[in-house]
Amino acid sequence: MRTKLLFTSLCLAWLATAGAAASTDGGRDDGQPRAEEGQAYKKRDWKSRFTIGGYGEAVFSRNFYSENWKRYSDAPKFKDDKGHNRFDLPHVVIMLGYDFGKGWSMGTEIEFEHGGTESAVEIEEEETGEYEQEIERGGEVALEQFWIQKSFDQTLNLRLGHMVVPVGLVNSGHLPTQFFGVYRPEGDNTIIPCTWHETGISLWGRTRDWRYEVMLVAGLDADRFNNQNWIQGGAGSPYEFKIGNSVAGAARLDWYGVRGLRLGVSGYFGNSASNSLKRDKFKELKGRVGIGAFDFEYAGHGLVARGSFLYGHLGNSGEISEANRSLKGYGISPGTNIGSDAMSAGVEAGYDLFSLSGKLRAKGQRMYVFFRYDFYDPMWRMGKTRRGQQLLDEEQWGRQRFAAGINYFPMDDIVIKAEYAYRKFKSQFNDEPALSLGVAYAGLFTK
């Protein structure tokens, strides 16, 4: 009932604002053409309304540790493993947008993760000419965003469709030019969906030193929560639809009151147990997910610093863990224990060495030397089963990560990165050092 009332309130607010905008004279700066500009707007070439952009990353890594699946359960056996090299395309995204006029616009993002997927049906001559289906390349292809937006003015915009849930620092700043590491920061990127995208409705805007966003979106699905990634897997769907028996709310508020500084808080709340096709396994469970996050960013005097703290709680975590184990045989759930509480914290700072040279500053180039620290644990606290049995913490998932490196920007939209990282565990496990090199871009191809 509360969800329905909130949804109704958002719709009424939209209708009321639309009526106010319609009754206001053409002098208001509401993002729509004024009366005297109507004819000129109609004559705009479609190319000036069309936006193309995107971002992409290519990475080489040398991992000085084993990636055998038993490296935590039998750590001494893999202590002296020589490791291996990797080439990767973590994210390649194409962004398309169009301005329809009169405050209406649309946006889309198509993402190819780790090179996308390549599958084919071939005739195998060596096997009596039978047809055989093969997967030639791993990865994922996803429609990350698709929304229609009505802008009344800069303080109020209504967005409907599939969009990013801006909870945490990484979801609100996930372009490769918005973080120093070769890969996205590990903390938030491990325990919550990243980039987190859901279908729903959003109201957002900016006024003076504040920017806000409130959302109603499809809730998470508890049957794909797991030990290593906490609630991350619940954002997707293996079906051709997203189960929406429970709707969730998300919100974000940013403050820009000091030059070069941004402070932000964000949160998420919703039930998850009913968003499964096997609802009988989650009888009388709500599986409430609550997440709160704080983050900041500062840029000035050659220095860039960012940091975040995120804490989350999952209700009925012990009962959900039991239910998911019963679903493992169906191929639906990982069937692992799930933490009742998860936490991540991270901070990074970089100094632009080129800011010391007037000539290099004039060329628009930057060279940051940076350091980053992360701590995260998807099993920070553990719940109990229906019978009162305490779930065991799997200590290998609680980690610290230290990283240092350089980011060279020959221009604002292109960055070349190098990073040495050291992932540290409790003493019974082997630490995991790695060296990574990457090149990335992020920007608009049309203006």
**What is the predicted pLDDT for the residue at 119?**
66
Digit-coded pLDDT (tens) for 184-207: 999 999 999 999 999 999 999 999
User: Taking residues 102-128, what's their average pLDDT?
Assistant: 77
Query: Is the pLDDT score of 15 beyond 90?
Result: no
Residue 140 binned pLDDT confidence (cut-offs 50, 70, 90)? confident
pLDDT more than 70, % of the chain: 85
Helix (H, G, I), strand (E, B) or coil at 212: strand
Q: Is 116 left (phi over 0), alpha (psi -120 to 50) or beta?
A: left
* Domains defined along the chain, listed by start: 146-444 (2.40.160)
H helices of 143-271, in order, are: 169-172, 186-191
Q: Per residue, what are the HEC states of the chain?
A: CHHHHHHHHHHHHHHHHHHHHHHCCCCCCCCCCCHHHHHHHHCCCHHHHEEEEEEEEEEEEEECCCCCCCCCCCHHHHCCCCCEEEEECCEEEEEEEEEEECCEEEEEEEEEECCCCEEEEEEEHHHCCEEEEEEEECCEEEEEEEEEEEEEECCEEEEEEEEECCCCHHHHCCCHHHCCCCCCCHHHHHHCCCCCEEEEEEEEEEECCEEEEEEEEECCCHHHCECCCECHHHHCCCCCCCCCCCEEEEEEEEECCCCCEEEEEEEEEECCCCCCCCHHHHCCCCCCEEEEEEEEEEEECCEEEEEEEEEEEECCHHHHHHHHHHHHHHCCCCCCCCEEEEEEEEEEEEEEHHHHCHHHHHCCCEEEEEEEEEEEEEEEEECECCCCCECCCCHHHCEEEEEEEEEEEEECCEEEEEEEEEEECCCCCCCEEEEEEEEEEEEECCC
Digit-coded pLDDT (tens) for 361-412: 888 899 999 999 999 999 999 999 888 889 999 999 999 999 999 999 999 9
Query: Is the pLDDT score of 340 beyond 90?
Result: yes
pTM: 0.86
**Range 205-231 burial, b when 16+ CB lie within 10 A, else e:** bbeeeebebebbbbbbbbbbbbbebbb
Give me 211's structure tokens: 């920017």
**What is the predicted pLDDT for the residue at 25?**
36
Distance (Å) of CA 380 to CA 292, 333, 394, 395 = 15, 21, 10, 9
> Which residue bears the tokens 């040279």?
357
Query: Is the pLDDT score of 13 beyond 70?
Result: no
- Compute the distance between CA of residue 215 and CA of residue 251 in angstroms, rounded to an integer: 6
User: Of residues 15 and 241, which shows the higher confidence score?
Assistant: 241
pLDDT more than 90, % of the chain: 70
User: Of residues 387 and 212, which shows the higher confidence score?
Assistant: 212
User: Taking residues 301-315, what's their average pLDDT?
Assistant: 97
**What is the predicted pLDDT for the residue at 305?**
98
Give the DSSP H or E segment for 361: helix 358-362
Digit-coded pLDDT (tens) for 37-62: 344 445 567 678 999 999 999 999 99
User: Of residues 319 and 358, which shows the higher confidence score?
Assistant: 319
**What is the predicted pLDDT for the residue at 283?**
84
User: Taking residues 22-44, what's their average pLDDT?
Assistant: 39
> Which residue bears the tokens 């200590």?
395
User: Taking residues 415-443, what's their average pLDDT?
Assistant: 97
Query: Is the pLDDT score of 96 beyond 90?
Result: yes
Rounded to 5 degrees, φ, ψ at 226 are -150, 180
210 forms beta bridges with 207, 255
Distance between first and last Cα of the chain: 45
Q: Which of 66-80, 136-150, 308-322 has the highest mean pLDDT?
A: 308-322
**What is the predicted pLDDT for the residue at 43?**
52
Specify the amino acid at residue 374: D
Residue 120 binned pLDDT confidence (cut-offs 50, 70, 90)? low
366 forms beta bridges with 409
**What is the predicted pLDDT for the residue at 236?**
82
Query: Is the pLDDT score of 6 beyond 80?
Result: no
Digit-coded pLDDT (tens) for 151-170: 999 999 999 999 999 999 99
